[in-house]
Structure 1
Amino acid sequence: MAETPISLSVKSRGKLIKFLPTDYAVTPSSPSSDLYAAFASKTRLSPHRLRIVNDATGQAVPNVRDISLATAGLHDGSTVSVKDLGPQIAWRTVFIVEYLGPLLLHPLIFELRPYLYSSPSSWGSAVPAPSNLQTLSLVLITLHFIKRELETIFVHRFSLATMPALNIFKNSAHYWLLAGANIAYWTYSPRAAAQAHNPPISPTDLLLGAGNDPLTALGVILFAAGELLNLNSHLVLRDLRRPGSTERGIPRGFGYNWVTCPNYLFEIVAWVGIALVTRSWSTWVFVVIAGGQMVLWAQKKERRYRKEFGDKYKKKRFAMVPGLI
């Protein structure tokens, strides 16, 4: 027996959307993503640019294939509001652009040291060669952001496909300016602490703390441990979501019994390692600002887990740092 269609009342929310129908007939078992596709076709806008809200509940209708319109609370006579979110850009693209900044700026500033830190009359000759510690700083920071790019391409699965296109400038400024230009300029300066300190950097020397430089060895160990554990946390999150889906799950694994977001914890551990190697206040500024933002994200995620999963979720006392936050 054929399913009886339901009729939805449709209205624009905010700015009037041209060609948006005032009513629309659809079968209740249809995937909710079909409604987005239909309105996108009629308005000639990307479905990712639209946000459809069930007026009766005030909740957004998800743009997914595994939830039906009936499950989303729509029935015959329901009213939905459609909002144009403006130009959008893929989250994956945003991440790639963000991390590209430090990957370009650190090697560039490192190579341009003779020109950036000397007067025009003595360009290319007045600046001493970079120290071993400055070279090691470049290597660690480059490895960190190469890892982030590879994770973005091959590991991360996003619950939202896009974000407002203009936000890419705000998001990128954090990495291009703070992690890129700011750290690079002060770390590779001939007046930097890392320039004056020139320890041996062979693997054996670092691990054994030779040359009376245990601080550098500790920095490298924290960096390596933080990066590997952070990757493991990201793999746990990836495995919670099937490719192409937006489903959520409760993460379990190393670190997830301690805090809500061990991926953020291990990210900070890695950056503390970098800060110990660079010996630059600029790196610590980035650690503090990035850490503060991650704390807010972790606390928000803890609240969401408690609301979404209820008694199935083991509440965490600390969102990011055991014993502190």
Structure 2
Amino acid sequence: MQIKIVSRSGKSKNLPLTIDIPADATVEQLKQAIYNEVPKYYPDRQRLTINQLVLQEGKLLKDYDIKEGDSILFKDLGPQISWRTVFLIEYFGPILFHPLFYYFKSQIYGEDFRHSEMQTIAYYMIMAHFIKREIETLFVHRFSHSTMPFFNVFKNSFHYHALSGINLAYWVYGPWNAAGKRGSEREEWLLWTCMGVFAWAQISNFYTHIILRNLRPPGTRVRKIPYGYGFNLVSCPNYLFETIVWFTVSILTKSIAAWLFLAAGSTQMFLWAIKKHKSYRKEFKDYPKNRKAMIPFIA
């Protein structure tokens, strides 16, 4: 059958375009056909809609009641970059900046000093967190969307490079927190408690990522209801445990920079959790009614 592809903005010189495609074709096949006609528009760059519905990959055109002669709106999403690459770039910032501030303290702060026990523990906790995130990005995560607009990488990276990278490192490893300075020492019980809660939250976060990974077979965008550790209470326990991780860092360091990153990060994760929670409940009619979005028994 013949389908007309029309530019949503009306500004593309390559559109409108008429595509010949089988009646039982998939959305992926339609995107590939458009790409064959206009190589600039590779599949990940395309957003197709009909009757205000976005055509989802993994579905047939007939699922949207698309017939001979119908017109489909096309939007160019612009140059894309893979989500995996974006995550690697984001987490690399703190991995780079924290060692610079920690090991080159005399060059950065203009004086030499000995790190306090708090600073050393905080350094290894933060480095362990971001190295874990890089490993998960490479070997654990399976993404529902393979790419995102290229220029978003700069906005996304600012959160990590600036807030949890430069800003956090500068204030935590400075001479005002050095060994022997007033206010730099922490009781032994607090150090061990923070390390223990941090380790538990990191392991818990990793385990929830494994559960999510196992829900989606390789190379697919299958969505299922997650069950198990943490998921019986909230839809996004991975965000909950991530928040606990940064709460322990904030308690340990007593740094305004750490509390700022916690506030920014937890707020964003809560908004994502609300969105995902609503999506689960809309998509799955049998979704557990007693679950909250991110905070057990509350929201």
Counterpart of 2:93 in structure 1 is 101
1:234 aligned residue: 209
Q: Distance in 2 between matches of 1:181 and 1:267?
A: 20
Residues 250-295 of structure 1 deviation map (CA, whole Å, 9 limit, x = unaligned): 1101111111111011111111222233232211111111111111
Query: In the alignment, what sits opposite 1:175?
Result: 160
1:151 is matched with: 136
Q: Once the 2 structures are TM-superposed, how far is the Cα of residue 20 of structure 1 from its aligned partner? A: 3.8
- Segment drifting more, 161-170 vs 22-31: 22-31
The answer on whether the counterparts of 1:250 and 1:313 sit within 8 Å (CA) in structure 2 is yes
The 5-angstrom pairing of residues 1-325 of structure 1 reads: 6-20=1-15, 22-45=17-40, 46-54=42-50, 57-62=51-56, 64=57, 66-118=58-110, 126-192=111-177, 196=181, 197-198=184-185, 212-310=187-285, 312-325=286-299
Q: Percent identity between the aligned chains?
A: 40
Give the counterpart letter for 2:264 in structure 1: I
Aligned to 1:28, the other structure's residue is in SS state: coil
Following superposition, the deviation at residue 192 of structure 1 comes to: 2.5
State how far apart, in whole Å, the 1-side matches of 2:220 and 2:12 are.
28
- Describe the SS at the equivalent of 2:85: helix
User: Is the 8 Å Cα contact of residues 194 and 279 (structure 1) preserved in structure 2?
Assistant: no
Aligned residue for 2:63, secondary structure, equals coil
Partner of 1:3: none
Q: Deviations for 1:99-135, whole angstroms, at most 9, x for unmatched residues?
A: 00000000011112112212xxxxxxx3212122211
Contact 2:140 2:213 in 1 (8 A): yes
Change over 3 Å in CA distance of 1:69–1:94 after alignment to 2: same
Q: Is the 8 A contact 1:51 1:82 kept in 2?
A: yes
User: TM-score normalised to the size of structure 1?
Assistant: 0.86
CA–CA distance in structure 2, aligned partners of residues 58 and 104 of structure 1: 44
Gapped runs of 5+ residues in structure 1? 1-5, 119-125, 200-211
Q: Give the length in aligned residue pairs.
A: 296
TM-score for both structures, normalised by structure 2: 0.94
Q: What is the CA distance between 1:194 and its match in structure 2?
A: 7.3
Measured against aligned partners, the alpha-carbon deviations of 1:297-316 in whole angstroms (never above 9, x if no partner) come to 11111111111112x11124
Q: Is the contact between residue 2 and residue 18 of structure 2 (CA under 8 Å) also seen in structure 1?
A: yes
Q: 1:33 Cα deviation (Å)?
A: 0.4
Structure 1 residue ranges (4+ consecutive) displaced by more than 3 angstroms after TM superposition: 18-21, 193-199
Corresponding residue SS for 1:89? strand
Relative to structure 1, the CA distance from residue 44 to residue 194 in structure 2 (aligned partners, 3 Å threshold; closer, same or farther) is farther
Distance of aligned partners of 1:39 and 1:111 in 2 relative to their CA distance in 1, 3 Å threshold: same
String of CA shifts for 1:31-85, please: whole Å, max 9, x gaps.
210111111121112211111112xx311112x3x42221243222221011111
Q: In the aligned structure 1, how far is the partner of 2:92 from the partner of 2:18? A: 45
* C-alpha spacing 1:111/1:35, structure 2 compared with 1 (3 Å): same
From the superposition, tell whether residues 194 and 15 of structure 1 become closer, same or farther in structure 2 (CA, over 3 Å).
farther
- The alpha-carbon distance between structure 1 residues 9 and 220, as it changes in their structure 2 partners (threshold 3 A), is same
The answer for unaligned runs of 5 or more in structure 2 is none
Q: Secondary structure at the match of 1:51?
A: strand
1: CA distance between counterparts of 2:160 and 2:290? 30
Q: Residue 222 of structure 1 contacts residue 273 of structure 1 at CA under 8 Å; is this kept in 2?
A: yes
Contact residue 219 and residue 272 of structure 1 kept, 8 A = no
